[in-house]
Structure formats: structure tokens, C-alpha cells
Amino acid sequence: MSDQHYYELYRRSCIGVSLMDALDDMISKGRLTPQLAIKVLCNFDRGIAEVLASKVKANLSFKGHLDTYRFCDDVWTFLVTDVTFKFPQKDKPTVSTRKVKIVSCNSKKPGEQ
């Protein structure tokens, strides 16, 4: 396994939370060590990042009002209000919501431009 660090963002997704619950349950029952659980989570972080980068080709556009933005440790965070999402497919409806948080991380490996 490489020393590459992957963001832990997707651990808060539904599948990430389910994975952590399952790992916690296995640790509490003595079926798994905490060290092995951490390795599983690191593999999850790597796997989800690689699959999203290589397999997902979807796109959409959105319009809203930028409420707040931050840049810290190579991570941009945008809070956008009154957002409307528009899909390029004509048969897809537009979707609106009151508030969206967008987190954008650097996907390049160190040394890449």
C-alpha cells in the first residue's frame, strides 16, 4: 500500500457510516482489532476516491447565491443558498434546495500539475 493520503470525506456518506458501524460492532465483539479496522477505513478512502475519479462521468450545472467560502489546508468549502441544479439530459427535472455545502479537495498527487 502506498503512502498516499486520501481524504476521509466519504466516511460520512451513508456507506461510510454503515462501514464504520459494522467495524465498531466487530471490534466490540472481539472479531477485529482496532488497527485492522483503521486499515479497512484507509482502503475504503482509497477505493472510493479511485472509483469516483475513474468511473463517474456525470455532470450537472447549478446556480445559487454564494453565502460563505473558505480555503484551508488545500480544501475549499462553499456554502451556497437558494440552489437550483440542472442536468444536461432534457428528460431530467431541475432540482432546487435551500442550502448546499460543497467541499472541493485537490485530486492531484504531490508533484503533479
Q: All 3 cell numbers of residue 12? A: 460520512
Residue 82 has phi, psi (to 5 degrees) of: 50, 60
Backbone dihedral region of 111: left (phi > 0), alpha (psi from -120 to 50 degrees) or beta? left
According to CATH, the superfamily of the domain at 61-105 is Transcription factor IIA (TFIIA), beta-barrel domain (2.30.18.10)
List the domain boundaries for the chain: 9-55, 61-105
Mean pLDDT by 10 residues, the chain (113 residues): 72 95 97 97 93 89 96 92 92 92 79 59
Q: Check residue 1 and give its pLDDT.
A: 46
On whether the pTM is more than 0.85, the answer is: no
Q: Check residue 25 and give its pLDDT.
A: 97
Q: Check residue 83 and give its pLDDT.
A: 97
| 8 A C-beta contact, residue 43 and residue 8 | no
CATH of domain 9-55: 1.10.287.190
Taking the C-alpha atoms of residue 24 and residue 6, their distance in angstroms, rounded to an integer, is 21
